[in-house]
Structure 1
Amino acid sequence: MAFLTGSDRTLAEAISRLAYCNPFLPERIECERQALGDAFVPGGTLWHATGDPEPPPNVFALRERAGALSERLAARLAEQARPGAEDLQLYEDVVIYMLFARYDDDFYGLIDERAATAAVGFYRRFRHDVERLLQISRARLVADRDVPHLFAAFFQVRRAFHYIFHNIIGNSAPIVRLRATVWQSIFTRDMRRYRRSLYQRMGDVATLIS
């Protein structure tokens, strides 16, 4: 059984790039365009604000497409598809993107300082989704010990985005570059590598986002 072909492969490759790109660079816009095709809505694509962000329609469309693709690929794995290493990496990237999008609002709710010591009620749902999609027999892509790290990494990404978005305001070229540079100073040029290993050296990071 084929695992990734045609339009599904094109979509998976675009979402894979989107999952690890710098969200404050035009690169993100191009990834969204590739993932959505004719459904892409142009305009208002460089994120900055003086108030709460209003996600553009592309964000919702991408969430739906990533969710549907994740379920299709998980079903193929359950039906004994045998993807190679490259296709498994694409599958993992799609699921990672989908999970972050699915729980985005929940992580946003944790940014409030009053929630710092509160119980995280959605962790069980998050872990269940990881087990269902990333810990199946043919694709055990996330070890049990790494699930809390993945959860914490998602929160860190959401929190960094929030403070960069709200505190570096403007749409001039220097400000656009500044937002992107601050993001990169936290997560480096290679966010995939950061997720795998560099997070362990967070004590060496000089950028303060608080």
Structure 2
Amino acid sequence: MTEREWDFLETVARAAFANPFGETRDDLDLLIGGAPPGSSPQKILDSALSRVAAQVESLRARGLADLQGQDGQRREVLRRFCLFHVFHRYFDHFDRLIQAQLKEGDKPCRVSFARQVLEELAGFGLAEQEAERAFAVFYQLRRAFYFIKHGLVGSSPSMKTLRRHLWDCVFTHDIRWFEAGLWDKMEEFSILLLGETGTGKGAAAAAIGRSGFIPYDPARNGFTESFTRNFVAINLSQYSEGVLESELFGHKKGSFTGAVENHEGLFSRCAPHGVIFLDEIGDVSIPVQIKLLQVLQERVFFPVGSHEPKRFSGRIVAATNRPLDEMLLDGKFRDDLYYRLCSDLVTIPPLRVRLREDPEELDNLIGAILCRLAGQAVSTREQQLVKKVLKRDLGQEYEWPGNVRELEQAIKRIILTGRYQGVKREKGKGDAADRLAAVLREGALNVEELLTAYCAFLYDRYGTYEEVARRTRLDRRTVKKYVQMGEKD
């Protein structure tokens, strides 16, 4: 193998598991395919895959495409190169499998192309067990791409960042760690989603939940679970404390009035590689928080009225639109639960921020919502009619306090009535960016006033003291002081 060929293999190996929503993968695809600058993403990918396929045939012809007898870094580079080739040959098959599984529901579909993929992997020298795990990872990679791409519409910088972030929540920021042993241990990594009401926290959670690892079972020629069963959501705010404990942990017959039979709670019903989404985690009482903490710490829980522990082997994703920073300071949310929940914090951007970053975001969202409502693609004319009404009734500076959820309801109301008047907000609320821009233009701020205006702006944008503290490198108490000073102004 020439040095040039080896450099090519190393480049493909780097691309094999690079975050597809990141710039690094785009640059690598350009480098692999040699497509001219300005080419469409599809042409760039097609060029890359064509060159990889040609290199595979060249290696096979010389007997250099076999992993048997290879070791160390050389084997790893060749392995990733081969995996890249096989995965991209079948990603259309995986997409059709995903769509079929969505229609089928909780019963796992048979995988008609599994034998072909496994035979190709074996042809490159992968052992049977290694090939089956690679096949399962292929399915996981494609599901993650599918649900992150289609579940989170938008091309604004903050949405691109969010998609990259969610991918890392599924595979870690370096997939070598995932492959080396974390692929079946991601339940140890809980995720906390932060964002205003209606921003899409549920969609982000579903993208993570439907993208977990699911083993392939050759005996049944399919995967052990349907991904539709791997994600279960519950809104914690809609239950009273007693009912909530029963919903989460289950109860034993006779444990309370009305408990006429045993009941399996959400944690019992969760699939082995599943995700439970706890929405509105900021609304639960301290006693329930303590029980949730036990699940996270010890991976066990007790049904109401039972002393027999049950094991939970799934992953937890939680979300809130409440200021957890304040609740932590006030003792309304336990610090230990907070730190157990936030292996990573993911902030979902509000719609007003997305529209400021990219005005075309509105067109993308209108098109996606109309398509979902109609069950098929809609014409540009219909999209422009909706946009025209929004511009007429709301103007260009509307803040969208209900975010994407409000936009969907606005579109429904326009379809029914031909108008939408919006939600009136308190004067001054949500305009921290304008205030900051105005005082900067005046050029008369002292340091404290500048910090006050900047912290207020960041809090208005990101919604939590913790995120502001992270960005300013101030502690949370200092951030809270400046934000409150800004509110008084």
TM-score by length of 2: 0.36
Q: Check if 1:101 corresponds to 2:101.
A: no
What is the percentage of aligned positions where both structures have the same residue?
A: 25
Deviation, structure 1 residue 204: 2.9
Give the conservation status (yes or no) of the 8 Å contact 1:70–1:91: no
Q: Which residue of 1 aligns with 2:363?
A: none
Q: Check if 1:36 corresponds to 2:33.
A: yes
Deviation, structure 1 residue 67: 1.8
Question: 1:16-165 counterparts in 2 under 5 A?
Answer: 16-37=13-34, 39-42=35-38, 45=41, 56-77=42-63, 85-112=72-99, 113-114=102-103, 117-133=108-124, 135=125, 142-165=126-149
Letter in 1 for 2:47: A
Unaligned 5+ runs, structure 2: 192-204, 211-489
From 161, 165, 169, the counterpart of 1:181:
165
More strand by share: 2
Structure 2 distance, partners of 1:146, 1:79, is: 17
Q: Check if 1:199 corresponds to 2:199.
A: no
Structure 2 distance, partners of 1:151, 1:30, is: 26
Letter in 1 for 2:166: V
Structure 2 distance, partners of 1:78, 1:70, is: 9
Letter in 1 for 2:155: N
Deviation, structure 1 residue 194: 0.8
Q: Which residue of 1 aligns with 2:482?
A: none
Q: Structure 1 41/103 Cα, relative in aligned 2: closer, same or farther at 3 Å? A: farther
Single out whichever of 114-123 and 153-162 deviates more from structure 2. 114-123
Give the conservation status (yes or no) of the 8 Å contact 1:11–1:34: no
Deviation, structure 1 residue 114: 3.0
Q: Structure 1 181/24 Cα, relative in aligned 2: closer, same or farther at 3 Å? A: same
**Structure index of larger Rg:** 2
Deviation, structure 1 residue 181: 0.3
Q: Structure 1 44/174 Cα, relative in aligned 2: closer, same or farther at 3 Å? A: farther
Deviation, structure 1 residue 66: 1.6
Q: Structure 1 171/44 Cα, relative in aligned 2: closer, same or farther at 3 Å? A: farther
Deviation, structure 1 residue 117: 2.8
Q: Alignment partner of 1:197: what SS?
A: helix
Q: Check if 1:14 corresponds to 2:39.
A: no
Q: Which string of whole-angstrom CA distances, capped at 9 and with x for unpartnered residues, describes residues 26-56 of structure 1?
A: 111111122123x2453555xxxxxxxxxx1
More helix by share: 1
**Larger relative contact order (CA 8 Å, sep ≥ 6):** 1
Structure 2 distance, partners of 1:193, 1:84, is: 19
Structure 2 distance, partners of 1:23, 1:78, is: 28
Deviation, structure 1 residue 186: 0.8
Give the conservation status (yes or no) of the 8 Å contact 2:65–2:78: no
Unaligned 5+ runs, structure 1: 46-55, 136-141
Give the conservation status (yes or no) of the 8 Å contact 2:172–2:178: yes
